[in-house]
Amino acid sequence: MGGTDGTAMARVLRDPVAGRYLAGVVVSGFGTSALWLTAGIWVKSLTGSDSLAALTVCAMWVPVLGGPALGALADRLDRTALLVRVNLAMACLLAALLLVDSGRTVWLVFVVLVLYGAGGVLLDAAESALVAGTVPASLLADFNGLRMTANEGVKLVAPLAGAGLYARFGGPAVALPAAVT
């Protein structure tokens, strides 16, 4: 970031758009990161299969291979409307995980994770372009540094919290907060 005394952070956080966006990154990233680890634990507990548990990570990340096509799609659509619609669709999609209750329904976890991953790729493309046009140019470098720090920081805490929620209350206790965030 721009300085070591925290002034860059203060400048970014004083900007109402940048501050709200960073809060959204933390909240949304928390749900996604909690689900990322917990999906594998959930599948393992329902099926007993280490291989299927490992495939949950692949399911969530395989849509990255379609990044160029999804990015081109995001460039052709109204970004604000796209962000709202995709986030709402992803919330509904995650709520479908509440139906997973046995090895017979574990396929739904994989469908949700692939679609959720595709939605994430689409959102990343739209957000990058929207941020560049929304956050003042003088704050953009510091903002992006804070955004990455927030994103990666959440990845340190959320999987443990998700695993704890799963251990205490089961898969739906992770899926529902992920849908809400």
| pLDDT digit string, tens, across residues 86-109 | 999 999 999 999 999 999 999 999
Quote the number of domains for the chain.
1
DSSP string of 137-165, one letter each residue: HHHHHHHHHHHHHHHHHHHHHHHHHHHHH
Q: Let me know if residue 129 belongs to a domain.
A: yes
Q: Let me know if residue 17 belongs to a domain.
A: yes
Collect all residues with Cβ–Cβ distance below 8 Å to 17 and sequence separation of at least 6.
134, 135
pTM of structure: 0.86
Q: Let me know if residue 1 belongs to a domain.
A: no
Q: Let me know if residue 97 belongs to a domain.
A: yes
How many CB atoms neighbour CB 33 within 10 A? 24
Q: Let me know if residue 131 belongs to a domain.
A: yes
Are the C-beta atoms of 19 and 12 separated by less than 8 Å?
A: yes
What CATH number has the domain bearing residue 111? 1.20.1250
Q: Let me know if residue 145 belongs to a domain.
A: yes
Q: Let me know if residue 22 belongs to a domain.
A: yes
Query: Whole-angstrom Cα distance, residue 175 to residue 181?
Result: 10
pLDDT digits (tens, 9 = 90+) for 46-89: 999 999 999 999 999 999 999 999 989 988 999 889 999 999 99
Domain housing 175: 7-180
Hey, is 29 helix, strand or coil? helix
What is the arithmetic mean of pLDDT over 169-177? 90
